[in-house]
Amino acid sequence: MNHIAERRQEEKDRRRDEILDAAALIAEQIGVNDFTMDQVAKKARLSRALIYVYFHDKEDLLFGLADRANNELHARFAAIANKRQTGLKMILAMGRSYVDYAAEAPVYFEAMACFAAHEMGTDEPNENEARCVEACDLVLGVLIKALHIGIEDGSLRRDMGPPEVVALTLWGLMYGIIQLISTKEAILAHIGVSSKQMVENALLMATRGLATSDTAARKRK
């Protein structure tokens, strides 16, 4: 890539970031469901036509936010995987990190939820959709790596099933818990259950099924 092409790409990336920054700020103020492309354009101080050059519609813009979110989640998971600890401890840390990120950045979590609910078509995905898929694969890949590490170090069972299936199951479990504690807070409070209790119980149930008997016994002591 020559110097001119590099400058053009840098400018394109900068504009894209400006649009996403504006969308995130607007969504924080009025909610993911209620903001409009016009509001984003005004916040970013860009023309409405230019917004549509980068994002075809609001859903596509949410995919851009989801791409950001997945890249941040991947960075957090990768940092956990790089620490010297057992695979089981990695899985626990990643579960808590996912919950923490959803609480810290609810707009980005909602964007990830939007992409998760999106039905992939048979046509070639557009740029933002493709970036989301790639980022999701990176997140899942780190989780799968942690499962393999746990099998090798003896903290996780070898007969737990295909790591790819287990990773998706863990993701689905924690995704559901996050949705529950974010939308049913009043019900949980009425019952007398805290969000932390829900998270820790979910992780306990998941890891009891994955941990080797020796590891489980050590955790009980």
Task: Sketch the domain layout of the chain as residue ranges.
Answer: 1-54, 58-220
Query: CA neighbours within 13 Å on the CB side: how many for 179?
Result: 12
Q: Of the candidates 30, 104, 17, 96, which has an alpha carbon nearest to the alpha carbon of residue 61?
A: 17
- CATH classification of 1-54, choosing from 1.10.357, 1.10.10, 2.20.25, 2.20.28? 1.10.10
Q: What are phi and psi of 156, to 5 degrees?
A: -120, 150
pTM of the model: 0.87
Contact assessment for residue 202 and residue 173, using Cβ atoms and an 8 Å cutoff: yes
Residue 122 is predicted with a pLDDT of 65
Give pLDDT < 70 ranges for the chain: 1, 121-122, 213-221
What confidence tens digit (pLDDT) does each residue in 143-167 have? Answer: 999 999 999 999 999 999 999 999 9
CA distances to 81, 143, 212 from 149, rounded to whole Å, are: 9, 10, 13
**Domains 1-54 and 58-220 alike in fold:** no
What confidence tens digit (pLDDT) does each residue in 64-103 have? Answer: 999 999 999 999 999 999 999 999 999 999 999 999 999 9
Phi-psi region of 54 (alpha: psi -120 to 50; beta: other; left: phi over 0): alpha
Q: Can you list the alpha helix ranges (DSSP code H) found in the chain?
A: 3-30, 37-44, 48-54, 58-81, 87-104, 106-117, 127-153, 163-183, 185-191, 195-210, 213-220
- CATH top class, domain 58-220: mainly alpha
